[in-house]
Amino acid sequence: MARRQPGCERWLLLAACAHVLVLLPPPRSRAFALNVILDDAEDTAELPVLQKSEKSGTVSKRSRELKEIVFVIQSQSNSFHSKRAEDLKRDILKQAADLGKELPIVLLIHEINRHEGAWTILPLMRDFSIAYGRNSSWIFFCEEDTRIQVVKLLETLGRFDASKEWFLGKALYDEESTIIHHYAFAENPTVFKFPDFAAGWALSIPLVNKLAVKLKSEPLKSDFTIDLKHEIALYIWQKGDGPHLTPVPEFCTDDVNSYKVDQCATTFSNFLPLCKDPVKKEDVFVAVKTCRKFHGDRSHCGKTFAILERFLNHSSSRTPWLVIVDDDTLISIFRLRKLLSCYDPNEPVFLGERYGYGLGTGGYSYITGGGGMVFSRTAVQKLLASKCRCYSMDAPDDMVLGMCFSGLGIPITHSPLFHQARPMDYPKDYLSHQIPISFHKHWNIDPVKVYFTWLAPNTEEVLNGKKVGYNREDL
């Protein structure tokens, strides 16, 4: 890896190997108590508890299996995302009702609001074990855009003995060791499998109970949450003492119109959201952070807050969106404008790829800067009104912003379409069902080739089933 010239030091926001240079102390004013040790069932995080049916002796085997699955949708509180999660919840319950079966429990992660780090899943294992450890067989996790065929899911899970420890999912693996995963399994990274969340993944209750016991005696230790799906698989594996991920071919990320759909228990809506007309170009203010080699003095956090001040006080008050990127960020403004059509700029929106810091010990989530950070004007107004600022001019700006928004009670909004690393740093199968917004870093790549391969609009790009043309200036 080439060294940067003096004066052009950059935060490498991809992994702990960069972040360990400066560790932000967690805000003392808020106690998130993510890894709470619960003493009895009454302290669970407001989770609905399964009740035994009076007709349990007469219902069919499949009905009992359906009731014994707890669905957990990895939802978010932003209005656009919460609606999509609610739609999925209704679809699951409708399928169950159409079968004439007892309805399963469907949970939305963002509603389990006692946990700042609920999205990291592991802090909830104790709650899941207490609420569902006796009357359930499976916890099934999915994303808001996962589509589930309930009957096929029941058939798929029915192949596995739910009295044993199972970790099921669609398997991803690294073809090369990557900075995102701290170069784990460097000799042969293909040997370690981790789940593609988009396809859904499942834990048997015996494994949930085992993880709950372990988390009670050994709280989570990692400072940073960077790639959750890989980190969960590592924690479950426990250096060989726990189960590997078992690949399940019925957990799919094919589109609902794919010829493979009949064999799939899950599919995935792999189009770029377009809720109304794309945001106008003049409604997006783009700021590029750079370094001395290219543009004067660089102070990381100080420069970002100067951009925020400029956007709020010196740009048109009618400009609703601010995008801050690094000088080695590759981003499709063409696609971003379409994505932003789904968000309300009157809400405090802070959008990008989500990381976490110290979420097991009272920390916060943040948007990692390299993939691009998107702010609504309302979010910037609330932030600057709070007087929360950099603790030093060269502090890591994305982490400071995360701490500030956390203190304000404003949740960040995650989109997997923003990427902190290069395309080659992600499994091919993971990117195959995405229409990406951004990538980051120019190490050992041709950035122009990467842009035209991954980010430039196609001649006619299909969005929500509609073919949308583009002008040359959209490039």
More confident residue, 43 or 338: 338
pLDDT at residue 418 is higher than 80: yes
Residue 18 has a pLDDT of 33
Residue ranges of the chain assigned to CATH 3.90.550.50? 62-268, 281-455
**Across all residues in the chain, what is the average pLDDT?**
84
Weakest-pLDDT range from 45-54, 237-246, 266-275, 278-287: 45-54
Q: What was the pLDDT predicted at 48?
A: 72
- Within a 13 Å sphere around the CA of 307, how many CA atoms are in the beta-carbon half? 24
Q: Tell me: pLDDT of 451 over 50.
A: yes
CA distance 376 to 350: 7
Contact (Cβ atoms closer than 8 angstroms) between residue 44 and residue 127 = yes
pLDDT score, position 292: 65
Does residue 39 register a pLDDT over 50?
Answer: no
Neighbour tally for 310: CB within 10 Å: 13
Distance of CA 301 to the CA centre of its chain: 24
Determine how many CB atoms are found less than 10 A away from the CB of residue 1.
7
| 291 pLDDT above the threshold of 60 | yes
How far apart CA 226 and CA 412 sit, in angstroms, is 15
pTM: 0.85
Looking at residue 461, its pLDDT comes to: 54
Considering only residues 26 and 427, tell me which one the structure prediction assigns the higher pLDDT.
Answer: 427
pLDDT at residue number 114: 66
Q: Please check the confidence at residue 465 and state whether its pLDDT lies above 70.
A: no
Asked whether the beta carbons of 172 and 193 are under 8 A apart, the reply is: yes
Does 4 have pLDDT greater than 80?
no
Q: Tell me, which fold does domain 281-455 have in CATH?
A: Spore Coat Polysaccharide Biosynthesis Protein SpsA; Chain A (3.90.550)
**pLDDT on residue 31:** 31
Task: Establish how many alpha carbons lie within 13 A of residue 430's alpha carbon, considering only the half-sphere containing its beta carbon.
Answer: 21
DSSP reduced 3-state for 414? strand
62 compared with 225, residue with greater pLDDT: 225
Q: b/e for 274-308, b at 16 or more Cβ within 10 A? A: beeebbeeebbbebebebeeeeeebebbbbbbebb
Count of other CB atoms within 10 angstroms of residue 263: 12
pLDDT band at 260 (very low <50, low <70, confident <90, very high): confident
* pLDDT: which is higher, 129 or 270: 129
For 173-208, what is each residue's pLDDT tens digit? 998 888 788 778 888 889 999 999 999 999 999 999
If you average pLDDT over residues 128-155, what whole number do you get?
Answer: 96
pLDDT at residue 42 tops 50: no
When pLDDT is averaged across residues 4-19 and rounded to a whole number, the result is: 35
In the predicted structure, residue 49 carries a pLDDT above the cut 90:
no
Residue 307 has pLDDT above 80, yes or no: yes
Average pLDDT over residues 209-224: 89
Report d(CA 468, CA 248) in Å as an integer: 35
Q: What pLDDT sits at residue 313?
A: 93
Could you please state the CATH topology (level 3) that the domain comprising 62-268 is classified under: Spore Coat Polysaccharide Biosynthesis Protein SpsA; Chain A (3.90.550)
Q: Contact, 371 vs 323, CB < 8 A?
A: no
Inform me whether the pLDDT recorded for 331 exceeds 90: yes
**Nearest Cα residue to 245 out of 295, 189, 310, 201:** 201
| Predicted confidence (pLDDT) per residue in 57-93, tens digit | 434 444 457 999 999 999 999 999 999 999 999 999 9
Task: Determine the average pLDDT of the residues in 237-259.
Answer: 92
- What span, in angstroms and rounded, lies between the C-alpha atoms of 322 and 312? 9
Average pLDDT of 450-459? Answer: 88
Mean pLDDT of 422-438: 95
Closest Cα partner for 333 from 294, 372, 289?
372
- CB–CB of 192/171 below 8 Å? no
